[in-house]
Structures are given as structure tokens and as C-alpha cells.
Amino acid sequence: MGQDEFFFLLMGLKWTVALSAIGFVCGCVAGLGIALARTSGVPLVERITAGYIALFQGTPLLMQLFVVYYGLALVGIKVDAWAAVSVGLTLHASAYLGEIWRGAIEAVPRGQTEASKALALGYVSRMKDVVLPQALRISLPATIGFLVQLIKGTSLASIVGFTELTRAGNIISNQIFQPLTVFGIVGILYFVMCCPLTIYGAHLERKFAASVR
Amino acid sequence: MSDISTTKATADAMISMTGVAKWYGAFQALNDINISVRKGEKIVLCGPSGSGKSTLIRCINHLEAYQQGEIRVGGILLGHQAKSIDAVRREVGMVFQQFNLFPHLTVLQNCMLAPMRALGLGKAEAEGRARQLLERVKIAEQAEKYPAQLSGGQQQRVAIARALCMRPQVMLFDEPTSALDPEMVKEVLDTMIDLAREGMTMICVTHEMGFARQVADRVIFMASGAIVEEAPPAEFFSDPKHERTRKFLGEILGRH
Amino acid sequence: MNYTLDFTPVIEGMPNLLTACLGTFMLAISGMLLATVIGIGGVVLRTSKIKLLRWLVIGFVELIRNTPFLVQIFFIYFALPLAGIRLDPTPTAIIALGINGGAYAIEIIRGGVQSISKGQMEAGLALGLHKAQVFRLIILKPALRAIFPSLTSQFVLLTLTTSIASAISAYELTSVSQRIESDSFRSFEVYFTVTAFYLVISWLMMRLFAFFSARYFAYPVK
């Protein structure tokens, strides 16, 4: 495998990073909304968000990308593959992050909410200043764990036809007939992205477990 | 099999420890322990935390290995080979601070498991034995419940019955009341007192000095892995010889 | 909007899709069994006295957890023939799923064994039971119970992952639906329906695990 081929893989890597970043950032924003709705105390809203989460956690990401990709075209929105994949990853991430943060919000001791209420704090302040900062800390290892899952998930964009790292690998592999070398390198590139995050997440988890004890 | 034999010197001793020493790496946990316990004798072991008293009784059934000296239980030399360990464990019952009942088995099943699996008893016999001993610790009506459905005191009484189901010659108690709420301590101590009256050989690690006064034949005080002083309870409490014993008694009795 | 939904190709392909659901089930269950075997074996090696073995297991787990399944399955698909092993896509997919699930299972099972307090082991030994008996009669069930929720979600995830096996044309729901889609061009209708199928499959899988759990782990804990 030559320099040109490797450069082509790096171009794919760039798109993998971009897709992951878009999916994660937009997913965080939407996921926060989902988590708040899921813990709102309004039965109907909680039911709907629970259904939303169950839908995304109960179906393959690949199908979600397909449905969004062809669904957007169906309602007359002409978008590029990368935009469709971004929307799909965002929805996917919002459901998973929403569920992770719901758990974290519920893990904050009830006394915190009660104390804030007793201090006459309103819902916004209660959440923003008291509950969410603690919940965020609790959820950080799981959130990072999901980011790793999301980075790996962007590889499915290749099946929809978008040239990110895995599809770049496919293309090169078909050109030079060295699939093991190519997918080995592709695997290493993913590993280099994900492993530091995994280690950091495990480190936070240990630190948190130690501080609780 | 010459090592599993009775020698004259220890014939009347149910448990004898001679020159027992144990290390955790460089830290010496037990230092030259010599104890002889006659059949039917009741010993209370006490001492500050980290003094080695738990380690000592855990050596008697080889939950902890010792590196020097000799331990005999009922004439059996406790070596490090599986055969002698098994033989000793069948004769020695143990009750733990945290009860250690098996959560996935009912009270009855907890009591039947070891007689069936370690002694090879039939189901009917094991069940009969279990029900009889549950009766004895006054908890027979809870036989079909799971450990998590019982109070701490009840769990500890079940743990005593479970150990007794092996018909042991010796019972070891490792701080049996330390994890209990105060109002449950009495029911467990009463069970232990009953057991003592029936003539069981017992070694109890406990800070319950009332219990020691009432049932112990001897009280042994340990500090820093060594035996500091041993005496009958009347003498031990009224006239402790060592400074460390006095200090310990002052702290522990002053607390009540 | 000038597009009208047309589910005719989906209805016509229904027998094929339903049979393919069985293919997905088969793939998932075989993958789980292999993953469980790898998981238990891995935990045994992970606690071995030999340092090299422990590090090999750690390396394996991290390698699998930090790379996409799609890349793994491609790699295995091309590597097996080079190692002299010629397999159809479906068995290849089972191996890839087993390896992937196995890496996660190692971590989960290890956590379960660690979650059982030392006191349980000691109580069993003090009662005169042997180590193997203690493990089988005392440790195993509570350990399985402790890890069952995470094992369930990991295996449901593995079930969903089977759809990626379509990339090497293994026989399962996604690849069959892709064939119907490319014949009919009714992409949205096909994938919408198949997504609903997956929802049912993962729900069934969860019920299966819950049934199993209620049957075997129905003892109260604090």
C-alpha cells in the first residue's frame, strides 16, 4: 500500500471524525431535551420519550440510517448522504444519551431536589444549578462510553454509500487486493481514536467509585 | 496417613496451637501463638482491631494459611494438604460477622447444603437435621424464607444452625454480633449461651464482655498478633495484669 | 408531495422476510453461545497466573471494544480463507459475532465474579465444601444474577448487530430486505417495515431473557 492510498484513508478518517463530532454535539443537545422530558413528571411526555428511546435502542443503527436516508427523500428534502447520516446519528445519539442522562438525573439523591425546593429555587435553577451538574458528573463515564460506540457506529455510513474511513478502506481494498493490510490499518485508525477515550472513561469511573466510597 | 493421628500429648485437647506464626508479606500477623482448648471449654478472644484475633480463629479451619508451628483439632494435625483441611473443616463450625448466608437458597436449603454435599447425607436425613436445629435456634417457622427476608439477628441464628448441621465438635465465632443492630444482639447471644450450656467447645472473638463473664472459662487478650494475657473471666476483669489489657478494658467497658 | 407509499413489494416479500427473521434469530443465538464460551474462557485466562496470557486477553478485549464491528467482520471474512478456513458468509458472521460479543462478555462476567463477596467463598469452605463445589453451588448463581441485566442488554445489542452481517451477505433480515429493496426500489417501505420487525425481535429477545431470569433467579435480595 502506497502513500496515495494511505492519504485516501486519512481523508476518510477526516469524515469519520466530522460525522462523530456532528452526531455527538447535536445528539447532546437533543439528548438533554429527551432526558429532561423523560424526567419531567408529566406522564404523557414521559411515555412518549420512553417510547422514543425504546424505538432507537430496539432497532439496528443501520436500519435507522436507512429509514432516515430514504425517509428524508420521501418528504421532499433533498440532502446529501452525509447530511442524512448526520441526522440519523443525531437521532440515534439523542435517544441513547437521553437514556444515560435520565439514569444520571434519577441517581442524584432526592434530598438535593427537596433542598432546592425548600430554598425556593424554580425548576430551571434547580436543574441548571443543582441537579444537572451532579448528574453530568455521574454520567460522564457512560457518556464517553457512548461516544466510542458512536465513533464505531459512523462506520455504517459506508453501507449507505458515504465515503468515510471504512468505505475508503473498502475502495482501497478493491483497488490493491490487500484486504487484510487495508482493514488492519483501518482498524488501527479506529483504535487510535477510541482507545484513549475508553481509557479515560474507565479512569473516571474508577475515580468516581473511589470518591463515593 | 500418619499425620492424621492422635498423639498422647494432645489427646485431651480439642484444639491445640503450638508456636503458630503467620505473615502477610513482611507484616507479622500472628506471633508464637500457644493455646490449648479442652473439650467443652469456652474461650473468649478479645483485643483491639488488628490484633490478630480474627486471623487466629481463621487459621483453625484454614481459611488462612499459617507458616510456622502446629495446629491440631480433635487430634487431627492441620497441615496444608487438602485431606487434613477437609477433615478439620468437617469438625469445625464457623459463624461470621456478616452472616454469609447464601442468598439464592432458602433457610432450609442453606442448612442442608453442606451435610448433603460435604458429608454425603441423604436429603431426608439432612432435612430432618436442619429442621431440628432450626427449631433449636427458635427459627423453625422461617425455614422456607430466603435470607434477605429475615432480620440480621434471625440471619445470624440461621448461620449458627447451618454450622451446627455439620455436627461439629468445635464452634468458632468471628465477631458474631458486631454487624447487628443493638436490639438484635441479645437473641444471638442467648442462642450462643444455650449452646455453651449444652457443652459445645467454643472460641468466640467478641467484645461482648457480659457474655464473656457469663460463659467463658478463659478470656484471652491479644495485641499486635500475640497473646498478652489469659485468665478466667473473674480474674481477667477484676485484676488484669498487663497495662495494655487495662487500657483496653477501660476503653471497652467505659463505652457501655 | 407526489410520492405515494406502496407496500405491495413488502407484502409480496413477507414470507421471505419472516423466514429471514428466523435467520436473524439463529445468527443472534449462535453468536451469543459462542460469545458466552469465549467470555468464560477469557475470564479463566484473564485470572491465570501467567502474565502473558492475562495481557493477551486484555489486548483482545480492548482491540475488539475499540474498533467497529463492520471492520472486524470484513477482516475476519478475508482472514479466514488465508488461514485455510473456507466458510460460507453465515458461519463467518457467527464467528465474528461471537468474537465481538465475547470481548464484552469477558468484562461483564469478570465483574460478576468480583461482585460476589469473599465471605460467600469462605462460608462455603468453612462448611467443608471443596472449591469446585463452592463455585458451582454458591458463587455461580448469584454471580449470574448480578450480571444478567448487563448481559441482557449486551446480547440485545448483539442481536441488533447481526444486521451488519449483511455486509458480507450472511443470511439474515437486513440482507434479505436489501434484496427486496433493490428489486422494487420501495426503499422506505421496505426498511420501515423491517425496522418494525427488529423492534419485535429485540423485544422478544428481552422477554426471553426476562423469562429466564424470573425462572432461575427468583430469590429476594436486599
Which chain B residues are closer than 8 Å to C132 by Cβ? none
Q: Is the pLDDT of residue B147 over 60?
A: yes
Test A170 with C1 for CB contact under 8 angstroms.
no
- Mean pLDDT value across residues C32-60: 93
Find chain C residues with C-beta within 8 A of A146's C-beta: none
In a domain, C214, yes or no: no
pLDDT digits (tens, 9 = 90+) for C85-94: 999 999 999 9
Across C133-139, average pLDDT: 89
Grid cell for residue B59: 487459621
Residues of chain C in contact with residue B86, where contact means CB-CB under 8 angstroms, are: 128, 130
Chain C residues whose CB is inside 8 A of the B93 CB are 126
DSSP β-ladder status, B92-95 and B226-231: unpaired
Nearest CA in chain B to C120: B100
Q: pLDDT digit string (tens) for A34-92?
A: 999 999 999 999 999 999 999 999 999 999 999 999 998 888 887 888 899 999 999 99
ipTM at complex level: 0.93
How far away is chain C from the Cα of B13, in angstroms, using its nearest Cα? 21
Q: Which residues of A touch C65 (CB under 8 A)?
A: 148, 194, 198
Query: Of all residues in chain B, what percent are helix, strand and coil, respectively (each to 5)?
Result: 40, 25, 35
- CATH (domain of C166): 1.10.3720.10
Predicted structure pTM score: 0.81
Please give the residue range of the domain that contains residue A127: 3-211
Cβ contacts (< 8 Å) between C120 and chain B: which residues? 100, 102
* Average of per-residue pLDDT across C108-134: 90
Pairing outcome for strands B170-174 and B218-223: unpaired
The structural domain count of chain A equals: 1
Question: Which secondary structure element, helix H or strand E, spans residue A48, and what is its range?
Answer: helix A43-57
For residue B1, what pLDDT is reported? Answer: 37
Report CB contact under 8 Å: C67, A190: yes
Residue B253 has a pLDDT of: 81
Report the CATH number that the domain containing residue A126 is assigned in CATH.
Answer: 1.10.3720.10
Inform me whether the pLDDT recorded for B120 exceeds 50: yes
The β-bridge relationship of strands B76-77 and B68-73 is antiparallel
Share above pLDDT 90 across residues of chain A, in percent, rounded to a whole number? 75
CA distance B62 to chain C (A): 8
pLDDT of residue B3: 43
* Residue among C82, C160, C188 minimizing CB distance to A74: C188
CB contact under 8 A, C126 and B93: yes
**Structure confidence by residue, pLDDT tens digits, A150-170:** 999 999 999 998 999 999 999
C-interface mutation test, from B100, B155, B164, most C Cβ less than 10 A away:
B100
Rounded-to-integer distance, Cα A169 and Cα C66, Å: 17
3-class secondary-structure state, position A13: helix
Q: Is the pLDDT of residue B44 over 90?
A: yes
Are the Cβ atoms of A74 and C67 closer than 8 angstroms?
no
The answer to whether the CB atoms of C174 and A166 lie below 8 A apart is no
Say how far apart CA C9 and CA A197 lie, in whole Å: 44
Q: What is the 3-state secondary structure (H, E, C) of chain C?
A: CCCCCCCHHHHHCHHHHHHHHHHHHHHHHHHHHHHHHHHHHHHHHHCCCCHHHHHHHHHHHHHHHCCCHHHHHHHHHHHHHHCCCCCCHHHHHHHHHHHHHHHHHHHHHHHHHHHCCHHHHHHHHHCCCCHHHHHHHHHHHHHHHHHHHHHHHHHHHHHHHHHHHHHHCCCCHHHHHHHHHHHHCCHHHHHHHHHHHHHHHHHHHHHHHHHHHHHHCCCCCC
Q: What is the distance between the alpha carbons of residues C75 and A196, in angstroms, rounded to a whole number? A: 23
User: Domain range holding C51?
Assistant: 15-206
How many domains are contained in chain C? 1
User: In the block, which residue shows the cell 459506508?
Assistant: A158
Residue C10 lies in a domain: no
* Alpha-carbon radius of gyration of chain C: 21
Rg of chain B, C-alpha, whole Å:
18
Nearest Cβ partner for C220 among B96, B119, B148? B148
Size of interface B-C (CB pairs under 8 A): 71
* Interface present between A and C (3 or more CB pairs within 8 Å): yes
Helix (H) or strand (E) holding B22: strand B13-24
Residue A212 binned pLDDT confidence (cut-offs 50, 70, 90): low
With respect to residue C211, please indicate whether it lies within any of the assigned structural domains. no
Q: Do B149 and C221 touch (CB under 8 A)?
A: no
pLDDT of C175 higher than 70: yes
Residue in A188, A180, A166 with CA at minimum distance from that of residue C75 = A180
Binned at pLDDT 50, 70 and 90, residue B9 comes out as very low
Asked whether residue C2 is domain-assigned, the answer is no
Contact A63 C195 (CB under 8 A): yes
C-alpha cell of A159?
453501507
Cell of C61: 478485549
Residues of chain A neighbouring C78 (CB-CB closer than 8 A): 179-180, 183
B:60-89 residues touching chain C, CB 8 A cutoff: 61, 63, 82, 86, 89
Q: Cβ–Cβ of A62/C78 closer than 8 Å?
A: no
What is the rounded average pLDDT of the residues B158-165?
96
Residues of A whose CB is below 8 A from C194: 63
Nearest to C220 among B93, B113, B146 (CB): B146
Q: Is the pLDDT assigned to residue B101 strictly greater than 50?
A: yes
Residue C120 has which C-alpha cell?
A: 460467600
